[in-house]
């Protein structure tokens, strides 16, 4: 049986494949999130990973989500965040804790689903924006999409989170269906 931690591990692996393929030039390209560049979205992803890792370790992240987490070496910043994130989820009893998110405390199993969604959606965003969709794990995207469809996802459709679902072609790859479900407009990508 696949655990929430196994799925987070798989998402971190997908994110690593995508982030390691980003060129410095791609960081200035627009992302699929309106008003964001690929670099800003990568910083958002790394910040979220560091905040989750801190919560799981019972520590303070020491910074806000959109502070500069990348510094001069985005790849190294991502690698550190991934190591800390993975270590946090693998701590004994991690799934028995409560995680404080921006909207309140959440039991760790639900927080793992939220974190998994963030990892997969933002990684897929980065891959599509940078022309590296070949690095996306389609099976993982399909699993996340199924999970999102099975819950009351409309609670997360608000500014700063996810937009209204947009149409995706019926035979589109899972990552494109997932991104359309989360309100990403893929025209031109």
Q: Which residues of 77-102 are buried (b: 16+ CB within 10 A; e: fewer)?
A: bbebbbebbbebbeeeebbebebebe
**What is the model's pLDDT at position 189?**
54
Between CA 90 and CA 134 the distance in angstroms is 28
| Domain locations along the chain | 4-136
**What is the model's pLDDT at position 108?**
93
**What is the model's pLDDT at position 112?**
95
Between CA 163 and CA 152 the distance in angstroms is 14
Collect the ranges in the chain with pLDDT lower than 50. none
**What is the model's pLDDT at position 152?**
77
Identify the H or E element spanning 106: strand 104-107
- Residue 101, SS3? strand
**What is the model's pLDDT at position 160?**
64
Average pLDDT, the chain: 90
Helix ranges restricted to H, 20-107:
38-57, 74-89
To the question of domain 4-136 being in CATH 3.40.50.1400, the answer is no
Q: What is the pLDDT of residues 119-131, one digit of tens each?
A: 999 999 999 999 9
Q: How many other CB atoms sit within 10 Å of the CB of residue 140?
A: 22
């Amino acid at each position: 049986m696949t655990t929430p931690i196994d799925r987070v591990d798989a998402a971190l692996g997908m994110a690593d494949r995508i982030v390691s393929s980003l060129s410095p030039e791609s960081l200035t390209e627009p992302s699929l999130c309106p008003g964001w560049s690929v670099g800003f979205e990568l910083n958002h992803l790394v910040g979220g990973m560091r905040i989750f890792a801190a919560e799981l370790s019972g520590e303070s992240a020491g910074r806000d989500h959109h502070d500069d987490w990348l510094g001069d070496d985005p790849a190294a910043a991502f690698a550190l965040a991934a190591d800390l994130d993975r270590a946090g989820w693998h701590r004994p009893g991690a799934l028995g804790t409560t995680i404080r998110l921006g909207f309140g405390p959440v039991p760790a199993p639900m927080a793992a689903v939220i974190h998994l969604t963030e990892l997969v959606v933002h990684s897929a965003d980065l891959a599509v924006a940078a022309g590296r969709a070949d690095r996306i794990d389609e099976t993982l995207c399909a699993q996340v999409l199924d999970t999102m469809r099975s819950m009351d996802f409309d609670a997360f459709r608000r500014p700063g989170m996810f937009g209204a679902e947009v149409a995706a072609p019926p035979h589109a790859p899972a990552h494109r269906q997932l991104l359309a479900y989360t309100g990403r407009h893929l025209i031109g990508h």
